[in-house]
Amino acid sequence: MCVDHKIICKCGAAAASFNLRDEIMPVEVIRGLYCPGCSGGVAFDPETMIADNGWVIAYDMEIARFASLSKMARSASGITPGFLFDEGYCTWKGLYPGDAEDSAREKAELLKLSRQDRLKYIQEFRNWTFKRMERLAGLGWRKAQSAG
């Protein structure tokens, strides 16, 4: 089960929804979120942070390691910001902040085509999926790059 958790960035101008895989990590594992507008003023620490296309997530690694030991029986040394993000233990809902909304809007546009030409709709939907991932990877979104 994945529960959606919305976090507001430190400057208050943006927000992102997070999934916490199997609710192993508590939401408190997110120490801070910085949008592209406020991340430039943050001293990036790769031991506790991950950067994704201008966004920075700061993790509380002490909480992450404690949760991993108690719920995953995993060595605390293997718990890194990259592991938390890439393995889905504390990551965006979707491929990037706002992905769920953007994807739904794009699919709704494609759905209009299904009423006119079903075969073309199926072809366009397949192409949309591939092109979307390619476009997002090209824009630098971490999850789109690892999916390709």
Q: Which helix (H) or strand (E) holds 139?
A: helix 118-139
Q: How far is CA 38 from the centre of its chain?
A: 18
Percent of the chain exceeding pLDDT 90 equals 80
- Count CB-CB contacts under 10 A for residue 136: 22
Q: Which helix (H) or strand (E) holds 8?
A: strand 4-8
The Cα 93–Cα 124 span in angstroms is: 25
The Cα 99–Cα 22 span in angstroms is: 21
pLDDT tens for 60-85 read: 999 999 998 877 766 677 899 999 99
Residue 100 in contact with residue 94, Cβ under 8 Å? yes
Closest CA to 96 of 63, 41, 138: 138
pTM for the model: 0.88
The Cα 57–Cα 24 span in angstroms is: 18
Place 147 in a pLDDT band, splitting at 50, 70 and 90: confident
The number of helix segments (H) and strand segments (E) in the chain equals: 5, 6
Core vs surface per residue 36-51: b (16+ CB within 10 A) or e = eebbeeeeeeeebbbb
Residue 18 in contact with residue 55, Cβ under 8 Å? no
In this prediction, residue 102 carries a pLDDT of 95
Residues recorded for the chain: 148
Averaged pLDDT for residues 109-115: 90
Averaged pLDDT for residues 103-132: 92
